[in-house]
Amino acid sequence: MEVAKKIGEINQRYAIPVWEHSLVYDSTSEQLEPIYFFILDFLNEKAASGGEIIKIEDNFNASVGGGFFSEIGQKATKMQEEGMKIMGTINTLIRTIINLIYDLKDFEIRLEQYKKAESKDKKVADAALLSLKNVWLDKVDLQKGQGAVHQMTYQLGFTTLRDAFYVVNSQAEIDKLDINDIVKRVLKPRLAEFQEWQKRSYQELKKRFEIEKNYLRSEVSALKLYTSWAKPYLKAAEELRMRAGIQGKSGKNVDPTLVTAFNSMILELKILATKEIDPKKTAMDKKIPEAFMKMKFKRRYYACLLIEFKFRGIPFRSPQGHYLFGGRAEVGFKSYALNSDELKYLQQEIDKDDIAAAMSLVEETTSGSLGQMQEDLEHFLEEKDEEAGKTKSKKEDKSAKKSDAPPEKISLEDIKPDDFKESVFRKYVEQEAADKCFTIYDVVKKSKGMASFVTPEWDTEEVRGSFRVKG
């Protein structure tokens, strides 16, 4: 990701860094790691102490003829295989969850008929009983073959048997019917069987419904567990994928530093260090007018350092078995002054990196699928208080939803221009960012024995006055 370009998109006025330095260190006998960790530790301890440091980019590529290429390829393949095995299980779990939801909906509809059959409203109760009688006739009684009500009605001459079964709901009502006594003798045991089935099937259906709900809950938990297992493998596989270097129209790597037969590699790293500059504290230190102590700022301001590394190394295996890298390191130092809205937008864009795109597979498979079924899952898996028989309080539900809700996104249109006091304070933040940028650049040069400034002659009123104030 071109962070400097993205900052320029945020506000054209700040497309150019406040201060910028670069250095090159070339030594095939020394490792590249100490340069990176020296700068990282210095940022943590001095330049950005108390702030935040994030790694924006971590790309590499190696010549295909070297041993490093084959070893990394084997590791990536292993991670991909393990991740896809778990993804297969995740897909199976999702299919099971879908089937369970359909079953539970069917059970819920049937249980609703049992409840309506006990309603005090006669019309509602009669309609529900007719529905249950249909189920009993089609799924239970029909198994008797020639002795089933349907068969006796249409094949054995008991033409009034089926209609009479739908009308009566008790043994006393059968005796009041104006039908043949033979039909009554057949009808009485059938009605008794139905009433017994109604009681037993209701209890069994409720048990089955609860069992299926518990099974659904366990499957959803298992899905979340397998998702957490799959993510590290897929993330590792994506991080091990070689993708640095210049790409030609054919899609092949045409970086001239990567020769097929050579044992070489390219590594690109970018880190962003941010530190908040407090106007009140700065005013107390008399670095800006004391009037800023009483001013209220709607947004916070940060001194930002963007450190870009480009390593061209020669991998060689150490006696311990891992690879070490010696070669050429190009390090760029850039400083910016950003407010909280601009920084939030920048971090939002940084999150849209290659790894996030690769992780979208497992996210869409799990979070996306669960999101589509969320309403059904909430309906069936809603926990209830067994003693009070009430669901959890609305306050708890709201707080849970609020904590689980993704952070609000910000667009370029949401970033308002600086007002007067913000523009003045941003100028000071720019100077702080420039000072930190030069400090770390100067210290790194001295740590490598390079020519450097004896005194910070760059830090003069003339130079500081050259900082932009107007757009």
> CA-to-CA distance for 133 and 122, rounded, in angstroms?
16
Positive/negative CA dihedral, 178, 179, 184, 188: negative
Burial of residue 290 (CB within 10 Å: 0-12, 13-18, 19+) is exposed
328 three-class SS: strand
Block residue for tokens 């390829």: 73
CA dist 206 and 215 (Å) reads 14
E-assigned strand segments in 151-225 = none
Chain segment 312-321, per-residue pLDDT in tens:
877 766 666 5
Q: How many other CB atoms are found less than 10 A from the CB of residue 35?
A: 20
Question: Nearest-CA neighbor of 355 among 239, 227, 240, 266?
Answer: 239
pTM of structure: 0.54
Q: What is the pLDDT of residue 333?
A: 92
Angstrom distance (rounded) from CA 336 to CA 68: 37
With CA atoms as reference, report the closest residue to 140 among 183, 218, 197, 182: 197
Alpha-carbon Rg of the chain, whole angstroms?
Answer: 37
Q: Residue 309's beta-bridge partner residues?
A: 269, 331
DSSP label at 358? Answer: H
Q: Cα–Cα distance between 350 and 441 in angstroms, integer?
A: 25
The pair of structure tokens assigned to 166 is: 């739908």
pLDDT at 63: 66
Please state, in angstroms and rounded to a whole number, the distance separating the CA atoms of residues 386 and 388.
6
pLDDT score of 381: 75
Q: Give the Cα separation of 272 and 54 in Å (integer).
A: 5
Kindly report, residue by residue over 244-265, the tens digit of the pLDDT: 554 444 555 556 666 555 667 7
pLDDT given at position 81: 84
Q: DSSP assignment, residue 353?
A: S
Number of Cβ atoms within 10 Å of the Cβ of 173: 12
Per-residue pLDDT, 141: 80
d(CA 143, CA 139): 7
Q: What pLDDT, on a 0 to 100 scale, did the predictor assign at position 400?
A: 44
302 close to 272: Cβ distance less than 8 angstroms = no
Q: Tell me which amino acid residue 245 is.
A: G
User: How far apart are the C-alpha atoms of 123 and 18, rounded to whole Å?
Assistant: 80
Residues 66 and 327 sit within 8 Å (Cβ to Cβ): no
pLDDT (0 to 100) of residue 7: 67
Taking the C-alpha atoms of 336, 337, 339 and 343 in order, what is their torsion angle to the nearest 10 degrees?
A: 10
CA distance 217 to 220: 5
Pairwise CA distance, residues 160 & 166, whole Å:
10
Supply 168's token pair. 């009566």
- Token pair of 260, please? 């097929």
CB 465: neighbour CB atoms within 10 A?
8
Torsional sign, CA 77, 78, 80, 81: positive
Angstrom distance (rounded) from CA 370 to CA 226 = 14
SS (H, E, C) 207-274: HHHHHHHHHHHHHHHHHHHHHHHHHHHHHHHHHCCCCCCCECCCCCECCCCCCCCCCCEEEEEEEEEE
Q: Which of 281, 295, 259, 237 is nearest to 87 (CA)?
A: 237
**Following DSSP, what letter does each residue of 389-439 receive, concatenated?**
--BPPHHHHHHHHHHHSPPPP--GGG-PPP-HHHHHHHHHHHHHHHHHHHH
DSSP state of 382: -
Using CA atoms, how far apart are residues 147 and 141, in angstroms rounded to an integer?
8
**Which stretches in the chain have pLDDT values below 70?**
1-15, 47-48, 63-68, 70, 238-263, 316-324, 351-373, 382-408, 454-471
pLDDT of res. 8: 63
